[in-house]
């Protein structure tokens, strides 16, 4: 085992005031941080942590070789990402082998659709890894709508906008409460699926939940709108309530 | 509108270090707190906040008139709970009308299957209410298992153990990743449904996630075990991973 520890620290939905006490302490006390970003961009995780980072912190940016240039279904996508994660693992191990701790900044909750998982599975047998859970982006989104997401025995289903339209529609019809993530360029497909499932009129669109530029609107009022990848669609459950 | 504010503060899964920075600040600075509990018990939310409460804080315990003595399906259950929530609302309004702020301590995330929602809907048109989201109990549980809950396009479904067995089995078969909450006396039914759905062998049981008495085990290794109501069953997704 390496002498240093990798901390996979969830930063939550965006507002620095919504980091956990533990995450806040780890980020403020970090000597080495690492984070994913798209080449040429500051990186969402790095931006969220901006006000918290101590002076002199050493930064290790991990830049995706591809994001949306190659379709997910292309084997080249998988090969490029796999090599990338292996390379990131080596960089982190060089630090932990030298006895240094590294805080990996993660948007949302690290184990919930996060990229950190790809490092975690490659590191966990050789390096001490601690994962700090966080408030999910979807919790930030449903809180922003000002209405509870689930009541009583409601079934909640979480769907990615990257799924095919039939799969989306079938699962949307079946659930009581719904969250759809990874919207962006999938928005038109997601709208059609919500219509097919009879859930379009009660869907809400939340952009930049808990951040200063947060917007909350009925999805039907955002017709034709271009939305960021990290926007979230919420359909509230209507279950038992005394 | 009342002059005081009601804060619905999510305490997260249990570890006080996992409160958000905002929740921690609100609880430590509270003059008035309120919380639900079963009559004669200290109350889980109150217990979680124990180390954080300032000296001299004024406590308002809200004691459920019934919990499991009457079946959920009995109209008397709904009537008793409805009268209870209305009474709690009146107590909180007396405080806010007098200009006092009240922190309502909530286990988990207030808008995710929480009792606070029943106060929120009754208060929100007359009293300023702020809801502080939190790390959900299920995030605490899947982090405790040491394995990510969802990958790639995995579909996550959250089910309550109180649902009937057919409904449970059907939804368990359909999802990639699963969380089952409200276990307790529903454990045998939930086991049968998991078996029917072919998910029993890969299910994990987490009790008291993130708390000092946390246990994590394969559900199949806990045969015959009595589990608390707040234990959580997790089945991890196996989606795309480069």
- Answer whether A71 touches B (CB < 8 Å): no
Local confidence band at B5 (pLDDT 50, 70, 90 cut-offs) = very high
Say which residues have a Cβ less than 8 Å from residue B233's Cβ, sequence separation at least 6.
B178, B179, B180, B181, B183, B190, B194, B203, B204, B205, B206, B219
- A7, A14, A18, best to mutate vs chain B, most B CBs in 10 Å: A18
Hey, what are A121's tokens? 């599975």
The per-residue pLDDT for B1 is 85
Q: What is the mean pLDDT of residues A150-168?
A: 96
Phi, psi of B196 (to 5 degrees): -55, -40
Out of A114, A120, A149, the one facing B112 most closely (by C-beta) is A149
Query: Angle A183-A27-B131 (CA atoms, 0-180°, nearest 5)?
Result: 55
Stretch 137-166 of chain A: residues touching chain B, C-beta under 8 Å: 139-140, 142-143, 146-160, 162-163
Residue extents of the structural domains in chain B: 6-135, 138-235
Rounded to the nearest 10 degrees, the angle between the axes of helix B165-174 and helix A165-174 is 160
CB B204 within 8 A of CB B218: yes
Predicted ipTM > 0.90? yes
φ, ψ for residue A100 (rounded to 5)?
A: -95, 140
Instruction: Check residue B74 and give its pLDDT.
Output: 82
Q: Which residues of B touch A164 (CB under 8 A)?
A: none
Q: pLDDT for B175-186, tens place per residue?
A: 999 999 999 999
| Residue to substitute from A14, A156, A182, interface B, most B β-carbons within 10 A | A156
pLDDT at A169: 98
Pick from A91, A140, A133: nearest CA to A114: A133
Q: How many CB atoms lie within 10 A of CB A21?
A: 19
Please tell me the CATH code under which domain B6-135 is placed. 3.40.1010.10
Indicate if A138-235 has the same CATH topology as A6-135: no
Q: Taking CB atoms and an 8 Å limit, are B133 and A17 in contact across chains?
A: no
- Say yes or no: domain B138-235 is CATH 3.30.950.10: yes
Residue A114: partners with Cβ closer than 8 Å, 6 or more residues away = A10, A106, A107, A108, B148
Q: Is the pLDDT of residue A117 over 90?
A: yes
Work out the pLDDT band at A7, boundaries 50, 70, 90. very high
Phi, psi of B140 (to 5 degrees): -60, -40
Specify the length of chain B in residues: 242
């Amino acid at each position: 085992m390496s002498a240093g520890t990798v901390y996979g620290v969830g930063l939550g939905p965006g507002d620095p005031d919504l980091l956990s006490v533990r995450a806040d302490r780890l980020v403020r006390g970090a000597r080495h941080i690492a984070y994913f970003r798209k080449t040429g961009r500051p990186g969402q995780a790095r931006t969220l942590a901006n006000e918290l980072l101590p002076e002199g912190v050493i930064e290790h940016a991990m830049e995706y070789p591809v994001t949306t240039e190659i379709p997910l279904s292309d084997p080249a996508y998988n090969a490029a990402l796999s090599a990338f994660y292996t390379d990131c693992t080596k960089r982190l191990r060089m630090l932990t082998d030298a006895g240094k701790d590294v805080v990996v900044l993660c948007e949302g909750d690290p184990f919930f659709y996060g990229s950190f998982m790809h490092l975690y599975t490659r590191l966990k047998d050789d390096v001490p890894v601690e994962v700090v859970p966080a408030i999910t982006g979807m919790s930030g989104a449903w809180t922003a709508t000002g209405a509870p997401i689930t009541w009583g025995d409601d079934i909640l289903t979480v769907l990615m906008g990257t799924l095919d339209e039939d799969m989306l529609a079938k699962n949307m019809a079946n659930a009581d409460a719904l969250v759809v993530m990874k919207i962006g360029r999938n928005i038109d497909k997601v709208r059609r699926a919500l219509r097919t499932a009879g859930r379009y009129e009660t869907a809400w669109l939340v952009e930049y939940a808990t951040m200063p530029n947060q917007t909350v609107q009925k999805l039907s009022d955002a017709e034709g709108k271009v939305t960021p990848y990290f926007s979230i669609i919420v359909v509230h459950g209507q279950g038992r309530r005394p």
